[in-house]
Amino acid sequence: MADELKGHLEDDLEAGSGRGRGDYSRDDEQGSGPFDVFRTKSAPADRLRRWRQAALVLNASRRFRYTLDLKKEEEKKQLIAKIRMHAQVIRAAVLFQAAGLGKKVQVTSKVPSSPTRIGDFGISAEEMVAISRNHDLSLLQHIGGVKGAVEKLKSNPEKGLSNDETDLVSRKKAFGSNTYPRKKGRSFWRFVWEACRDTTLIILMVAAAASLALGIKTEGITEGWYDGGSIALAVLIVIIFTAVSDYKQSLQFQNLNEEKQNIQMEVIRGGQRIKVSIFEMVVGDVVPLKIGDQVPADGLVITGHSLAIDESSMTGESKIAHKDPIRAPFLMSGCKVADGYGTMLVTSVGINTEWGLLMASISEDNGEETPLQVRLNGVATFIGIVGLSVAIVVLLVLLIRYFKGQTKDPDGHAEFTAGKTSVGDAINGFVKMFTVAVTIVVVAVPEGLPLAVTLTLAYSMRKMMADKALVRRLSACETMGSATTICSDKTGTLTLNQMTVVEAHACGKKIDAPDNKSLFPPRVISFLVEGIAQNTTGSVFVPEGGGALEVSGSPTEKAILQWGVNLGMDFSAARSDSVIIRTCPFNSEKKRGGVALKLSDSEVHVHWKGAAEILLESCSSYIDANDCEIQMDEDKMSHFKKAIDNMAARSLRCVAITYRLFEVEKVPTSDEELENWQLPEGDLILLAIVGIKDPCRPKVRDAVQLCSNAGVKVRMVTGDNLQTAIAIALECGILGSNKDVSEPNIIEGKDFRNLTETQRLEMADKISVMGRSSPNDKLLLVQALRKRGHVVAVTGDGTNDAPALHEADIGLAMGIQGTEVAKESSDIIILDDNFASVVKVVRWGRSVYANIQKFIQFQLTVNVAALTINVVAAISSGNVPLNAVQLLWVNLIMDTLGALALATEAPTDHLMHMKPVGRREPLITNIMWRNLLIQALYQVTVLLVLNFRGRSILNLDHETKDRAFKLKNTLIFNAFVLCQIFNEFNARKPDEMNVWKGLTKNHLFMGIIALEVVLQVIIIFFLQKFASTVRLSLELWLVSIGIGFVSWPLAILGKLIPVPDKHFLEYFKKKSDQQRTPSGG
């Protein structure tokens, strides 16, 4: 078992995983461009570096804030290597010490010279750290071994600590808490500083300073400060808005990171197993350990049965270390249990452990980019290059026209006349034109576009927590929207995980009332009680003051333990009647778990428990109603097989309980031989076969149907009997009817495993139910489905599920039943183990993608319209209707406020009636192109007509030229902003007629729209000099609103225009391919 896990348990961050990298090329082969990174999970560093170098970036510190910091990642690896080296040195010393254990160990005087003891404990924190951190066996023996450590820490090996708050507080005071110092999050002022580092904003500030100086010099301080001061103030407002938005976003991520690190673990307090946060564990706590658990602190093994620890997270080596209380009692925090089970005593916590030092050093979150983020950087780069080119053209045209004397003021006089215009005025004119060109770049380069992904992800992740899903990897949140298939476990995910024994077959017949002790012969009861009590990782707690018994363990263990209690089992007495000499923990490959017991009369009993039809094959006899052992003939074998099939057909989980006697003389005597002893698996005596009922979760059928409607195929992959799996699949709707109960829809794991790779690829698509599957079968299925082009989501809870969870595009670990190994290999943790929550994750994943598309459509419309209006106006008249301050306000609406409004839309049912979004499909769909071009064309046409014919259309002939010019430009600015506000509604539903549906539920959207309207009114009415505007009459306000309002009916009419399914860019690709083919051939 432990050997199988060597490669599987290295996938956590610190262990440094190589898994998945070999498959990366398969995901990336179709993407030759720097931004074609379709899977960031396990992506090579050079691939990530490539897109960063290709991106056009104005503010690197802001743009790359939520991407993987490649430099820090390298530093982190070096730091981990140093700490691992220390751990390896300790390990080498321990091995050297262990080699010399043949001789009596001489106690050395390594005890700290003057230990500071706090409280009435028999040992100080320094002494405890010296023992555990250096793995010093001689010091441990000096204090009386593990037993002595338990006594000095005033704990109890069976009952643990009392759950007394005063005692727990005193332990934290004496030995420290199980936390480590975390680096403080960035302050608000750090975000302000980063927002200031935008290249274009810096240039604008310099230009504003120059304009301010020239204005004051030429016009005096009273009038001269307006031009430069208004630009500086506009830039300052943009910086503050940006910083506030980014700061709030970072706080959300900070909270989510703390939630991810808050592992819940079992401890024994007052004899009872209770779950506490890993941060609440204290020195002296007794912690039960089982396969897949993380060691929560440094400690000592109290009891261990085949206990094997994977120390790769600390040593970097995948070698499994076997632990026992005598020769190898030391456990290192952060390591994983690879095999067996046992209990440990916590001896050092927090910063006093090697793991605590490591986490304190690397606790700052290092970021992680998502495929959508990378693609949006590509889109932003393309738009930015176009915008930069446009800005240069505008600047050149404005300069040429200005210095040629073709630029006129509102009265029709040339603004520049050679030999007459002063140098100061000429420079001021140049600064104004340069400022407009730079502002065009600010608007054109959508710096906020890639950051909109993190905004919508931060919002979605917070909301998903309420929907019982904890996102560990950002990319998984969006990838889930592309999922085409979900490979789900059965137990606990599709079912309730509330198991009870409802049927039993023993003594060669069905027992009518399985809880009735009198229906079983005494010998069978004795063996059943012995096997149930000892062959388990669960426990039964008897409250001291009386009351109901508390049964703990996995759901299957709890069901069988409860059945044992119903049959009269006294758990503590049964466990004290025999001693465990060897265990074989439940193995998902063999589907069984066993234990060898030595009784007081020196008899040795071997008990097995596991999959009924598999264990039945190993049985050679059974005990009848007269308590006699009877040979298993063919009739009885077929009787039991039929009973298993009948129970399985009724969706019962079938578990066999068996035992056998073993010759004492054949039991190994040395510890080394005992460690390698394989428990005998043949000649077993059947005691009972029980049927355990685990009801389907309510509404799981609706959830499966919802997936089917959304184009996501649900497949059940379970270790249970195939007949049980079929019964549950029919109940859940995974199989439509009995007609579907045939190959290739249903298959056993071993049959799938035995197929060739080509056959597996052909078969994978058709499989709906896989029964009796091993974790390796699940991995093979995931690999086959991914090769078929599927985006695969996989649920898993066991340690052996780690490879499949890692290989899948989205690994979903179970929060309640999942082991820490499974959780660390996963991308999302389903906190309530419910399949309905998995479906909610799909909705949120689609919502992330849809929200980004809404934002892109909105932003591109503003880009196209603003750039076209200014370019055409600049070339034709030498003046631009939208000045620098106005463009900065438009940029604020478009970037920060637009992202907040559109990137935080909640998912709708409409999303679950669409096909999954292909990861290689263009971000800007034909529908989006249609919508944005219609709106941009309308805005450009109307506003350019106003620019060139506004005076006559608006009947402003009676006004002075200067007043008419300002009124016209103010109207253009007002109408343009209102067009964007009205179009923000259109962007909510790119492919639906009713854009107002669900509007009242989105309070943030309504609030932002209200804020934009209020600020626009303030700019027009009260900030005329700041924004170069004048007050508009009621008639002109109605004209502005009318122009904006037309975008609503226009959007509805536009949606009646059909668009082809084939993306229009593919037509250009075909043409270019056709042109290249002859020359290439």
Structural contact between residues 40 and 374, judged by C-beta atoms closer than 8 angstroms: yes
Average pLDDT taken over every residue of the chain: 83
Cβ atoms of 447 and 896 closer than 8 Å: no
Q: Which of 1013, 1011, 796 is nearest to 241 (CA)?
A: 1011
Cis peptide before 990, with omega less than 30 degrees from 0? no
Contact 885, 945 (CB under 8 A): no
**Alpha carbon distance 864, 886 (integer Å):** 16
pLDDT-derived band at 1052 (thresholds 50, 70, 90) equals: very high
Interatomic CA distance for residues 301 and 331, integer angstroms: 7
pLDDT at residue 1076, rounded to an integer: 46
Please give the Cα distance from 737 to 726 (Å, whole number): 10
pLDDT at 108 over 60: no
How confident is the model over 961-994, as pLDDT tens digits?
Answer: 888 888 999 999 999 999 999 999 999 999 889 9
At 209, the pLDDT band (50, 70, 90 cuts) reads confident
**Which are the contacts of 958, defined by CB distance < 8 A and separation ≥ 6?**
none
pLDDT at residue 65, as a whole number? 63
pLDDT of residue 825 exceeding 50: yes
> If 0-12 CB within 10 Å is exposed, 13-18 middle and 19+ buried, where does residue 485 land?
buried
Banded pLDDT at 249 (limits 50, 70, 90): confident
Percent of the residues in the chain that have a pLDDT greater than 70, as a whole number: 86
Per-residue confidence (pLDDT) for residue 116, from 0 to 100: 67
User: Which of 126-135, 466-475, 926-935 shows the highest mean pLDDT?
Assistant: 926-935
Q: What is the rounded distance in angstroms from the CA atom of residue 89 to the CA atom of residue 94?
A: 9
Taking the alpha carbons of 631, 635, 639, 644 in that order, is the dihedral positive or negative? positive
Say yes or no to pLDDT of 703 above 70.
yes
pTM of the model: 0.80
Mean pLDDT of 1036-1048: 95
- Residue 600 DSSP one-character state: T
For Cα atoms 480, 481, 482, give the angle at the middle one, nearest 5 degrees. Answer: 90
Residue closest to 399 by CA, chosen among 439, 440, 427, 441: 427
Confidence of residue 42 (pLDDT cuts 50, 70, 90): low
Residues designated catalytic: 489
Give the model confidence (pLDDT) of 540-581 as tens digits.
988 877 778 889 888 899 999 999 999 999 999 999 999 999
- Let me know the angle formed at the C-alpha of 594 by 593 and 596, rounded to the nearest 5 degrees: 165
The answer, yes or no, to whether residue 1077 has pLDDT greater than 90, is: no
Least confidently predicted of 14-18, 606-610, 804-808, 1070-1074? 14-18
Cα separations (Å) of 743 from 438, 729, 760, 763, 990?
66, 14, 13, 10, 43
Say how many Å lie between the first and final Cα of the chain, rounded: 56
